[in-house]
Amino acid sequence: MALVTATSGGEIEAQAQETDGFQLVIDALKLNGIDTIFGLPGIPITDLTRKLQRGGLRVISFRHEQNAGYAASIAGFMTGKPGVCLTVSAPGFLNGLTALANATTNCFPMILVSGSSEREIVDLQQGDYEEMDQLAIARPHAKAAFRVLHAADIGVGVARAIRAALSGRPGGVYLDLPAKLFPQTLDADAGRKSLIRVVDPAPRQIPAAEAVQRALELLQSAERPLIILGKGAAYAQADAAIRALVETTGIPYVPMSMAKGLLPDTHEQSAAAARSYVLPEADVVLLIGARLNWLLSHGKGKTWGGKSPQDWGGQKFIQIDISPQEADSNVRVDAPVVGDIGSCVAALLAAITATAGSNWAQPPAAWLTAIAERKTKNVAKLAEALASNPTPMNFHSALNVVRDLVKANPDAILVNEGANALDFTRSIVDMYQPRKRLDVGTWGVMGIGMGFAVAAAVVSGEQVIAVEGDSAFGFSGMEVETICRYRLPVCVVILNNNGVYRGDEVNASGGRDPSPLVFVKGARYEKLMEAFGGVGVRATTPAELRRAMEEAIRSRQPTLINAVIDEKAGTESGRITSLNPSAKKKP
């Protein structure tokens, strides 16, 4: 259809019948239920951010694109809709790319939308403003990458990005929008018709009956069965079916970090407190949305009872995963079950009922008793550590307070990063509901803290508690301004021991510079929050920390608590010291 020609009297009507690239991006996102954009305005997307807000989307504007990207990715994990991050070209794009790569690695659905410079100049390398071939750079770090050159293709571009992010194994998608695209106009009717509402973007994938049968037979043969729940199981939002499978079979389970709370950590079948006993002792292990990567010692070696780091421990694995390529990635998987977790777990439950009715044989008592004994011992050991009240505080006495407050506020979302601050929080703070624990994930990445906290508060409206190592906080600390600007109910607790891992190291050369691992002693992080109108508190005792956290949760005000702990508390790399080649060599 031809463009309407404007006359002096009919100008408004003419404009109303035209649309442009800006509007089509907004319409395409809205049509697909995208209601929030995380980003940072600048050339060439400044006007787009304005128009998105005017168009009714929530636009959360950050201080650094990496944090906006992490926010988008975790919004994707929490909601099952792709989280969208919008950045400027070249450096802004690169800042967002870390988060996109992290999303792909973690199987979080996310779309990084970046403006880009003039293709004609970029491709001839003639030195454009922020010149960069962003599409080529994004491709290896994303599940898929697309560029849209014509406004009429925006609908297809957005639809392809959504499908790629959500279908099969979720991941990060890059969508390149050159500056010239936005002001391109076309007939409004043609524009409307070019848009696509994506139908069934994450189609169910039903497992093959014989794969389910194979898994069932292996499970029935087990004497010491174990279930491992990963963050894929949390993402799948198949909470009731997973709980039914665990409880019907009576099999003990271990949650990976972000699967904590999928069943309450206080569940009697949780073997988390006996982790180092159950992994090597189990004979059949059912993995649900968990990969046998480094976090599970690649399914072999001493963690699994193997004699040396490369030795197989003898376990047989059943693996439920949406990716058909995942099985055998590290060790043999005897019964791969490929499909979406909801369908696979339902199929397994149906097969159990068909085979055994309500008389499924519970795991042998000897196995359950042995686990219970280990659990009791570890729980008692932990309780003793939590009860001690040293001066200054240590990780245990501070986290005992967080543990109580999460228990009293199970709807709250816990964001957690650091080394020791991560490891101690994971084992000390019980979670009670699914998808409430958000952390460093598959890469063990530092810097997710404030981005995750902002997104968690925006997406859920719930209270967020961010437990941060002082080093980890530094990567995203400036976003406390964002937290204050949007008045988000985020309580940041910095476990401050003056350094990376700990704060008492000195410069071994005797020179004037501090050790590379320490920070300014006695830093007043709480003042950073006060600078933007939030509440800052310095806490040196568990009682002060408790009071400050209770008040933060009661008031829902942005709060930063500088929890001062012993600078000698902490070990190098926390519980993964073995991965740090020089860790044993003391300076």
Cβ neighbours of 519 (radius 10 Å) = 19
- Nearest approach, Cβ of residue 169 and ligand ADP (Å): 4
Helix (H, G, I), strand (E, B) or coil at 113: strand
- Point out which span in 255-263, 401-409, 432-440, 515-523 binds ligand ADP (CB under 6 A): 255-263
User: Any contact of residue 230 with ligand ADP (CB under 6 A)?
Assistant: yes
Q: Structure tokens of 69?
A: 């990207």
Q: How far is CA 33 from the centre of its chain?
A: 21
Q: In 134-196, where does DSSP find H-type helix?
A: 134-138, 154-166, 188-194
User: Any contact of residue 447 with ligand ADP (CB under 6 A)?
Assistant: no
CB nearer ligand ADP, residue 65 or residue 417:
417
Where does 430-540 show beta strands of DSSP type E?
A: 437-439, 464-469, 490-496, 535-539
Residue of 61, 185, 293, 303 interacting with ligand ADP (CB under 6 A):
293
Residue of 49, 104, 315, 442 interacting with ligand ADP (CB under 6 A):
442
CB nearer ligand ADP, residue 177 or residue 242:
242
CB nearer ligand ADP, residue 328 or residue 530:
328
In the chain, the amino acid numbered 503 is G
- Nearest approach, Cβ of residue 140 and ligand ADP (Å): 19
Q: What is the DSSP letter of 577?
A: G
CB nearer ligand FYN, residue 88 or residue 448:
448
Residue of 107, 242, 278, 548 interacting with ligand ADP (CB under 6 A):
107
Q: Exposure of 248 by Cβ count < 10 A (0-12 exposed, 13-18 middle, 19+ buried)?
A: middle
- Name the helix (H) or strand (E) containing 540: none
Is the Cβ–Cβ distance between 301 and 269 less than 8 Å?
no
User: Any contact of residue 444 with ligand FYN (CB under 6 A)?
Assistant: yes
Q: Which residue has the tokens 């598959």?
A: 442
Opening angle at CA 509, ends 503 and 512, nearest 5 = 70
Q: Which residues contact 107 (CB under 8 A, 6 or more apart)?
A: 169, 170, 171, 231, 232, 235
CB nearer ligand ADP, residue 256 or residue 284:
256
Bridge partners (DSSP) of residue 87 are 114
- Nearest approach, Cβ of residue 310 and ligand FYN (Å): 18
Where does 148-260 show beta strands of DSSP type E?
A: 172-178, 185-187, 225-229, 253-255
Residue of 161, 322, 327, 495 interacting with ligand ADP (CB under 6 A):
322
Binding-site partner at residue 330 among ligand FYN, ligand ADP, none, CB < 5 to 8 Å by type: none
Q: Which residue has the tokens 């009715």?
A: 357
- Point out which span in 116-124, 230-238, 348-356, 525-533 binds ligand ADP (CB under 6 A): 230-238
Residue of 105, 269, 427, 541 interacting with ligand FYN (CB under 6 A):
427
Binding-site partner at residue 275 among ligand FYN, ligand ADP, none, CB < 5 to 8 Å by type: ligand FYN
- Point out which span in 256-264, 347-355, 453-461, 507-515 binds ligand ADP (CB under 6 A): 256-264
Q: Which residues contact 438 (CB under 8 A, 6 or more apart)?
A: 74, 77, 78, 258, 413, 414, 415, 416, 448, 452, 456
Cβ neighbours of 390 (radius 10 Å) = 11
Helix (H, G, I), strand (E, B) or coil at 114: strand
Binding-site partner at residue 382 among ligand FYN, ligand ADP, none, CB < 5 to 8 Å by type: ligand FYN
- Name the helix (H) or strand (E) containing 124: none
User: Any contact of residue 287 with ligand FYN (CB under 6 A)?
Assistant: no
- Nearest approach, Cβ of residue 410 and ligand ADP (Å): 21
In the chain, the amino acid numbered 105 is T
The greatest distance separating any two alpha carbons of the chain, rounded to the nearest whole angstrom, comes to 89
- Name the helix (H) or strand (E) containing 262: none
- Point out which span in 216-224, 457-465, 548-556, 571-579 binds ligand FYN (CB under 6 A): 571-579
* Packing angle, helices 65-79 and 90-106, rounded to 10: 30
- Nearest approach, Cβ of residue 350 and ligand FYN (Å): 32
Task: State which of positions 336-395 bind ligand FYN (CB under 6 A).
Answer: 378-379, 382
* Packing angle, helices 46-54 and 21-31, rounded to 10: 50
Prior bond of 44 cis (ω within 30°): yes
Binding-site partner at residue 258 among ligand ADP, ligand FYN, none, CB < 5 to 8 Å by type: ligand ADP
Nearest-angstrom CA–CA distance, 274 and 245: 21
User: Any contact of residue 289 with ligand ADP (CB under 6 A)?
Assistant: yes
Tell me the number of residues near ligand FYN by CB under 6 A: 21
Binding-site partner at residue 323 among ligand ADP, ligand FYN, none, CB < 5 to 8 Å by type: ligand ADP
Binding-site partner at residue 235 among ligand FYN, ligand ADP, none, CB < 5 to 8 Å by type: ligand ADP
User: Any contact of residue 6 with ligand FYN (CB under 6 A)?
Assistant: no
CB nearer ligand FYN, residue 277 or residue 532:
277
Cβ neighbours of 314 (radius 10 Å) = 12
| Strands, sheet with 464-469, edge to edge from the N-terminal-most edge strand | 437-439, 413-417, 464-469, 490-496, 559-564, 535-539
Binding-site partner at residue 423 among ligand FYN, ligand ADP, none, CB < 5 to 8 Å by type: ligand FYN
Q: What is the x/- site pattern for ligand ADP, positions 332-361, by CB under 6 A? A: --------xx--------------------
- Nearest approach, Cβ of residue 90 and ligand FYN (Å): 29
Residue of 65, 130, 176, 423 interacting with ligand FYN (CB under 6 A):
423
User: Any contact of residue 578 with ligand FYN (CB under 6 A)?
Assistant: no
Tell me the number of residues near ligand ADP by CB under 6 A: 24
Helix (H, G, I), strand (E, B) or coil at 248: helix
User: Any contact of residue 429 with ligand FYN (CB under 6 A)?
Assistant: no
Q: Structure tokens of 525?
A: 């992080």
| Sign of torsion over alpha carbons 275, 225, 364, 257 | positive
Contact positions vs ligand ADP (CB under 6 A)? 106-107, 169-170, 230-232, 235-236, 256, 258-259, 289-291, 293, 295, 321-323, 326, 340-341, 442
Contact positions vs ligand FYN (CB under 6 A)? 257, 272-276, 295, 378-379, 382, 419, 422-423, 426-427, 440, 444, 573-576
